[in-house]
Structure 1
Amino acid sequence: MTKTGEKPVAIVTGAGGSLGRATALRLGRDGFAVAVLGRGGATLAETAEELRTAGVPTYVLEVDLRDAAAIKAAVREAEAEFGPVHALINNAAIYPPTPFFDITVEEFDDVVAVNQRGYFVAAQAAAELMRERGTGAIVNIGSITWSGGWDKLASYVTTKGAAVAMTRALARELGEFGIRVNLLSPGAFPTKAEEIHENPEQYTQFVLDHQSLKRRGDPDEVASVISFLVGKDSSFVTGQTINVDGGWVMM
């Protein structure tokens, strides 16, 4: 793999999922070279193939987000082999649907390792590179569940609330280096994550009852806001939480 020339590089974690893939493709259309990071497998390979078919310079990083050393190495590899990293999108997450009293410490630690520690480590590794150039953008993907809680997802909701706090702390500390940090909280999008719900039709109605906009969102509508947050048009935006949820949560 060669350097991408003048194209800025974006790293998207969890790029094999619906939101991650939509984000990677949108950033590719908007002029980024894209490094897709995930555990590997068919879905990550499919994202990479779609990017390459679209003519987007693409670099694949197969990493388990539980492995802090591997995350740091992957971020450095992306820059060394692919070019200067301008943007990091912390998107990868796991969400075991377990009732609170049945959550083991091991399961809780596993969710924290991916959804919270993984975000922190990736952000630290990327920011170390960005500060040398005095510019960069990090977008952490949260969830509207942190705003009001959610049953059978206590571990996941806990990590998403932590992502909000981390975003604000990093925005405050990294601003002097020209690095912007924001958080995007998606609502209930029709992705694989909805397989945890036993009755899809009932859940869809539940979503529509709570949203102000009475239709389901499209992953591209998340990707477009992420593209804004890492682009020049948001050059004075940092430390913010933006809900993309059809008007479910308003704050």
Structure 2
Amino acid sequence: MNDRVAIITGAGGALGRATALRLGQDGFAVAVLGRASEELDESARLLDEAGVPVRTLEVDLRDAEAIEAAITTTDRDFGPVEALVNNAAIYPSTPFLDIPLAEYEDVVTVNQRAYFYAAQVAARPMVERRSGAIVNVGSITFHGGWSNLASYVSTKGAAVGLTRALARELGEYGVRVNAVSPGAFPTKAEEIQGDSAEYTEFVLTRQSLKRRGTNAELAAVVSFLVGPDSAFVTGQTINVDGGWIME
């Protein structure tokens, strides 16, 4: 058993991997959760090479029973889950009038229902121990609106709403819940934007800081929100976007 464990969903992606490595550096044992993939295996390998106790949880977030089993057994057998980072998301780009209901429901299942259920399962032992932190990954698209991403944007708004509701309800048990809203970080999501140079120009004209952020910089904010320096912070959404959205 490890002293404290962090679970990161979508840990095969760029932001999830950076977060996993940072929390491992902070002293957490890390459970990387996501669909079976070479990317998830690579995240686990990098953690292992860094000397971080790691557990791989191959889970399709559409499967609620699998989510429950993965989190429950991790808490019981790997160590107390002190931090959950709901990071996984899908983001099909489709004009609103053309979005099939099945596509919308799939996005809601992965980006919204899975966040809710993973938080619920992880929070139960946190409440018993009177300790824990949950971070939901939102998006600045919720604050600014975005064309062709209505399903994704609506679920990211739900992540902020869930954060506030859980912070209010779980605070009396010592469980903190916050959100981060990333801006334009270098991830696979950029593929839907087309030309990379053109997109970079688009980003820099809107950011206050005239450079692209790094995945490690997003991970550092998550580290703060699950660590002791944010012990009196809950219910907040921090935009990590180089000064793009200011609210």
Superposition TM-score tier, normalisation by shorter sequence = over 0.9
Structure 1 stretches of 4+ moved >2 Å: none
Which residue of structure 2 lines up, in the alignment, with residue 119 of structure 1?
115
The offset of 1:195, in angstroms, is 0.6
Q: Percent sequence identity over matched residues?
A: 68
Q: Mapping of 1:212-231 within 5 angstroms?
A: 212-231=208-227
Unaligned runs of 5+ in 2: none
Which residue of structure 1 lines up, in the alignment, with residue 202 of structure 2?
206
- CA distance in 1 between counterparts of 2:123 and 2:103 reads 29
Unaligned runs of 5+ in 1: none
1:248 aligns with 2:244: yes
- CA distance in 2 between counterparts of 1:191 and 1:165 reads 25
Paired residues, number: 247
User: Taking structure 1 as the reference length, what is the TM-score of the superposition?
Assistant: 0.98
Which residue of structure 2 lines up, in the alignment, with residue 31 of structure 1?
27
- CA distance in 1 between counterparts of 2:187 and 2:34 reads 17
1:136 aligns with 2:132: yes
Describe the superposition over 1:33-87 as per-residue Cα deviations: whole angstroms up to 9, x where unpaired: 0000000110000000000000000001010011111111110011122010000
User: Taking structure 2 as the reference length, what is the TM-score of the superposition?
Assistant: 0.99
1:178 aligns with 2:174: yes
Which residue of structure 1 lines up, in the alignment, with residue 45 of structure 2?
49
1:11 aligns with 2:3: no
- CA distance in 1 between counterparts of 2:36 and 2:226 reads 25
Which residue of structure 2 lines up, in the alignment, with residue 108 of structure 1?
104
In structure 2, which of residues 117, 139, 144 is the aligned counterpart of residue 148 of structure 1? 144
Tell me the C-alpha RMSD between the 2 structures.
0.6
- CA distance in 2 between counterparts of 1:54 and 1:146 reads 35
The offset of 1:172, in angstroms, is 0.2
- CA distance in 1 between counterparts of 2:186 and 2:24 reads 23
Query: Given residue 12 of structure 1, which amino acid in structure 2 is its aligned partner?
Result: I
What SS does the aligned partner of 1:203 have? helix
- CA distance in 2 between counterparts of 1:79 and 1:169 reads 24
Describe the superposition over 1:197-242 as per-residue Cα deviations: whole angstroms up to 9, x where unpaired: 1211111100000000000000000000000000000000000000
In structure 2, which of residues 159, 163, 188 is the aligned counterpart of residue 163 of structure 1? 159
Which residue of structure 2 lines up, in the alignment, with residue 58 of structure 1?
54
